[in-house]
Amino acid sequence: MTMIDSHTHVDGAEFDGDRAEVLARARAAGLTGMVVVGTGRSLAQISRAVELAAREPDVWAAVGVHPHDAKEMDESWWGPLEEMARAPRVVAVGETGLDFHYDHSPREIQVDRFRRHVQLARKLGKPVVCHVRDAHAESAALLAEENAGERGGVIHCFTGGPAEAERYVALGLHVSFSGIITFKTAEAIRAAVQKVPVELMLIETDAPYLAPVPMRGKRNEPAYLVHTAAVVAREKGLSQEALAAVTAENARRLFALNSSS
């Protein structure tokens, strides 16, 4: 079974003690690629993903500033961030977006940084990776205004229901399902699977966060993607092998993985 983890943070400090073993377990579980998303409260933290992608042939990077940290970002960040985003194995801009659940950064700052990330992604011809929590209407409106669907993007770790999924699909955006879909309380997310065409589906771990059932409570890692894939496949009426294959192909196409070296 071939899978691609479309969103993971194995560049983070949580994996400094056993990163090689984590990557080995991912490969043994059938993963042929991972998109490592570099975020953080400094450019140095963000750059760890770029450095990891440069070392590992089946790892690619995305770079951006998470909405939680939007308030940390000043004008001096944009030049270095764009330079990182231009690196050959950096395949997307983000994660960026709106998180009105925690509001760790003021909303007007989140909106400004989100808009500018989307504009940078379009400038570079790369997809945008979006974090959206309790802000689906606002995020969809901004993505429509900025014509994000022209180059494409993904709503990572989707937490909406069927109506939200339909709105993103109408914009031409991918929807990525994480370990949350395995949680007992995730009925709306499972129902949303029916509204996402198979060619716009991705799967992810968001490791080290959101370990799926039956691994809840543990540090998540890419090898656990198999559990999320099983639930998404069941809800879509596909075999797990078919779901894994089509989402891997979708990731290769969206992120242009075959042409990134």
Domain assignment of residue 182, given as a range: 3-259
Q: What percent of the chain is predicted at pLDDT more than 70?
A: 99
Cβ neighbours of 208 (radius 10 Å): 18
Matching residue, tokens 């377990």 = 25
Q: Which residues pair with 155 in a beta bridge?
A: 130, 175
Predicted local confidence at residue 260, as pLDDT? 60
Strands, E assignment, the chain: 3-8, 31-38, 59-63, 90-99, 128-133, 153-156, 174-177, 201-203
**pLDDT band at residue 54, thresholds of 50, 70 and 90?**
very high
Residue 190 has pLDDT above 70, yes or no: yes
Distance CA 190, CA 169 (A): 16
Residue 153 has pLDDT above 60, yes or no: yes
Contact criterion met (CB below 8 Å) for 210 and 157: yes
- Condensed to tens digits (0 to 9), the pLDDT of residues 103-150 reads 999 999 999 999 999 999 999 999 999 999 999 999 999 999 999 999
The CATH number covering residue 137 comes to: 3.20.20.140
Q: What total of structural domains would you count in the chain?
A: 1
**Per-chain mean pLDDT for the chain:** 97
Residue 259 has pLDDT above 80, yes or no: no
